[in-house]
Amino acid sequence: MLISPAWAQAAPAAAQGGGIESMLLIVAMFGVLYFLMIRPQMKRAKEHKAMVEGLQKGDEVITAGGILGRITKVDAQYATVSVADNVEIQIQRAAIQIVLPKGTLKTIQ
């Protein structure tokens, strides 16, 4: 054989008593995750739900697909949106992303 076998050195003994520090680290990481990711997402979801529940006829909206229009009819699950003269589409209420200020869309009757 051209390569001689390598003999590994014995690893140093691991330090004892690291249980409480690692547990505190895990709790701290979960706390950071909660305040930076979970809590803001829950706040946005709550605001979107309140906006969807408050939709009414005449609101000018932007849908998730980027369609602009004016709501002509609102049901429990769906909203009818007028996107042009004599053109109406029916979409799910949850697909509405933004309610625009009144008067933003001037071309739609």
Residue 34 domain flag: yes
Q: What integer is the mean pLDDT of 18-46? A: 93
* Residue 90 scores a pLDDT above 70: yes
Residue 2 binned pLDDT confidence (cut-offs 50, 70, 90): low
Query: 12 pLDDT exceeds 80?
Result: no
Mean pLDDT of the chain: 87
Domain that holds residue 36: 21-53
CATH of the domain at 100: 2.30.30
* Lookup result for tokens 């008067």: 103
Give, in order, the Cα–Cα distances in Å from 84 to each of 64, 65, 68, 94, 103: 18, 16, 9, 21, 15
Average pLDDT over residues 39-66: 94
Residue-wise pLDDT tens digits, 55-80: 999 999 999 999 999 999 999 999 99
Residues 108 and 60 in one domain: yes
The pTM of the full predicted model, rounded to 2 decimals, is 0.68
49, 81: one domain: no
